[in-house]
Amino acid sequence: MRAEVKEYNFDWMMNRGVAAASLAADGTVKERDLLLRYVPYFKGPLEAILGEGEPGAEFLKMMAKFFDNLLTAHQKGKKIAATTFCFSPAILYAVDAVPVTFEILTALASMMWKRGAFDYLDFACEAGLTETSCSSQRGAIGAYFAGLGEEPDFMVCDTPGVCDTNANAFAFASNYLNKPFFQLNYPQRLNDGRTSQYHIDDFKALITFLEEQTGNKMDYDRLKRVLLEVEKQDTIIADMEDMQMAVPSPVPPLYNMFIYAGRFICSGLPEYTTALEKMRTAVRRNLENGICGLKSGVEKKRLFMCYIDHYTVDMTFWKWLDYKGLSHLGSILSKTFMEGTGYTKDIDGSAYKMDTSSEEAMLNSIAQLNARLPMVRSIRGPYDQPNMWLDETLAVARAYKADCIIYNGTPGCRNTWGMVKPFARDLEKMGYPTFIMYDDAFDDRVESWENTRARLEEFFTVRGLL
């Protein structure tokens, strides 16, 4: 790693960036415009997020709170739990631990810094992770391997069979950093009694581990409060998802990113609820006035990202969607799969229900919620079996009247690369023009944004979409 990069603490730099930006959000428009002249390095992402008004400001405040929690955790006697975007941090908040979700930090560094997360991605390989490991974890893990992040006290993840690269990255990190590690098993099926019981028992073992690591007994009243907050949050997201079905969609593309970033680091925290409430108000206002969420006000096509998004430097992907008049209908990261959401009507047994009436019910709820998180939910086995990737993609695409479907991932994602071609072929047969992107969602060096954009534009032109 370059000596100059090693001079700066990764989490601290992130915190300074989002904290300063959140203060800027409280200034006048004139002050903000002036500020942008003095921060050319951060101008792109800052302009994009502040351009969303109050929801953007609340998102920045939530992020600042998250980094503040992380940076002061040890001072306050709390333990830091390194985790993944396939795992709900709610249970960690319930034992008063502070989660740090590697994939969200990698995405933020990739979008906010002109140098992206490149040095950290490379350092993780110098330390021993393969270049074909998933870049979503590799960016932030590299910083932590280099000792540039807050030291985690333990690690928790799930998905041994769902994603080998994710599980291996965590197993490697626990070994490299010499930290205790708990790995949940993944559910074979989403809705059969035997699997549910197995999954609850697995969560009980996880709780024993968390109690040992944090020195705190699981406080079920606190778990209840956290889960009720999660329910409130998922209900707001579900409201926005309902409104997103309208034509034109009243949801600005960037909201999808705000939703899942919050979900994977602040689930159950009131700051996330506030940010979601601001988003819902703006979406409702757009809907009532028949306004589309795109800056141009004209929706040309509706696009479902059937996997993850593109976290390119300066947030150019998101700006490009807006510029081209493409409504973003969400991705596997943003959908809650909560009971009552429109797209789950078609796919029996795919939704989870929050029940806080007893300890057992709460454990069942968090286990079921966790089983609906991205990758755990969609990539558990053969892509075309009931309740798997194809099933849910078609259900979402139908419900949201998608004009086309786009796959984007990372070269390390063997789970999806092994089946993406037959998957795309099946979607085409069902009438959805489907495009497979070949970039790395977190690493612009694999394919430059200019090339990615040219290929995207070729797809939209050749298929007569734009």
- Return the number of the residue (166 or 256) whose C-beta is nearest ligand SF4: 166
Options 147-155, 223-231, 353-361, 408-416: segment touching ligand SF4 (CB under 6 A) = 408-416
Binding status of residue 413 toward ligand SF4 by CB under 6 A = yes
The site map against ligand SF4 for 198-227 (x = CB under 6 A) is ------------------------------
Nearest of 110, 26, 104 to residue 70 by alpha carbon = 104
Contact criterion met (CB below 8 Å) for 240 and 340: no
User: Can you tell me the distance from the alpha carbon of 356 to that of 375, in angstroms, rounded to the nearest whole number?
Assistant: 25
Binding status of residue 183 toward ligand SF4 by CB under 6 A = no
Binding status of residue 412 toward ligand SF4 by CB under 6 A = yes
The full length of the chain comes to: 466
10 Å CB burial of residue 342 (0-12, 13-18, 19+) is middle
User: To the nearest whole angstrom, how small is the minimum distance from the Cβ of residue 420 to ligand SF4?
Assistant: 11
Instruction: Tell me which long-range contacts 453-462 makes (C-beta under 8 A, separation of at least 24).
Output: 453/316, 453/320, 456/320, 456/406, 459/404, 459/433, 459/435, 460/301, 460/324, 460/404
Q: Which one of 379, 388, 404, 427 is in contact with ligand SF4 (CB under 6 A)?
A: 379
User: Can you tell me the distance from the alpha carbon of 24 to that of 420, in angstroms, rounded to the nearest whole number?
Assistant: 42
Q: Could you tell me the two tokens for 226?
A: 């956290």
Binding status of residue 410 toward ligand SF4 by CB under 6 A = yes
Other Cβ atoms closer than 10 A to 461: 10
User: To the nearest whole angstrom, how small is the minimum distance from the Cβ of residue 375 to ligand SF4?
Assistant: 4
User: Can you tell me the distance from the alpha carbon of 135 to that of 344, in angstroms, rounded to the nearest whole number?
Assistant: 30
User: To the nearest whole angstrom, how small is the minimum distance from the Cβ of residue 442 to ligand SF4?
Assistant: 9
Name the H helices within 177-245.
193-214, 220-244
Nearest of 206, 161, 196 to residue 376 by alpha carbon = 161
Binding status of residue 163 toward ligand SF4 by CB under 6 A = yes
- Return the number of the residue (287 or 305) whose C-beta is nearest ligand SF4: 305
Binding status of residue 415 toward ligand SF4 by CB under 6 A = yes
Residues binding ligand SF4: number (CB under 6 A): 13
Q: Give φ, ψ of 461 to 5 degrees.
A: -80, -50
- Return the number of the residue (155 or 375) whose C-beta is nearest ligand SF4: 375
User: Can you tell me the distance from the alpha carbon of 328 to that of 26, in angstroms, rounded to the nearest whole number?
Assistant: 28
What single DSSP character describes residue 305? E
- Return the number of the residue (101 or 249) whose C-beta is nearest ligand SF4: 101
Options 119-127, 163-171, 213-221, 349-357: segment touching ligand SF4 (CB under 6 A) = 163-171
Binding status of residue 166 toward ligand SF4 by CB under 6 A = yes
- Return the number of the residue (88 or 273) whose C-beta is nearest ligand SF4: 88
Taking the CA atoms of 190, 192, 193 and 198 in sequence, report the sign of the dihedral they define: negative
Contact criterion met (CB below 8 Å) for 95 and 88: no
Q: Give φ, ψ of 97 to 5 degrees.
A: -95, 160
Nearest of 86, 79, 80 to residue 157 by alpha carbon = 86
User: To the nearest whole angstrom, how small is the minimum distance from the Cβ of residue 133 to ligand SF4?
Assistant: 8
The site map against ligand SF4 for 112-141 (x = CB under 6 A) is ----------------------x-x-----
- Return the number of the residue (18 or 379) whose C-beta is nearest ligand SF4: 379
- Return the number of the residue (159 or 273) whose C-beta is nearest ligand SF4: 159
- Return the number of the residue (163 or 279) whose C-beta is nearest ligand SF4: 163
- Return the number of the residue (137 or 327) whose C-beta is nearest ligand SF4: 137
User: To the nearest whole angstrom, how small is the minimum distance from the Cβ of residue 389 to ligand SF4?
Assistant: 10
Options 144-152, 188-196, 410-418, 449-457: segment touching ligand SF4 (CB under 6 A) = 410-418
Look up tokens 């007569």; give the residue.
Answer: 464
Helices and strands, number each (H, E), in the chain: 20, 8
User: To the nearest whole angstrom, how small is the minimum distance from the Cβ of residue 152 to ligand SF4?
Assistant: 18
- Return the number of the residue (163 or 223) whose C-beta is nearest ligand SF4: 163
Q: Which one of 22, 69, 106, 165 is in contact with ligand SF4 (CB under 6 A)?
A: 165
Q: Which one of 261, 375, 395, 399 is in contact with ligand SF4 (CB under 6 A)?
A: 375
Q: Which residues are near ligand SF4 by CB under 6 A?
A: 134, 136, 163, 165-166, 375, 379, 409-410, 412-413, 415-416
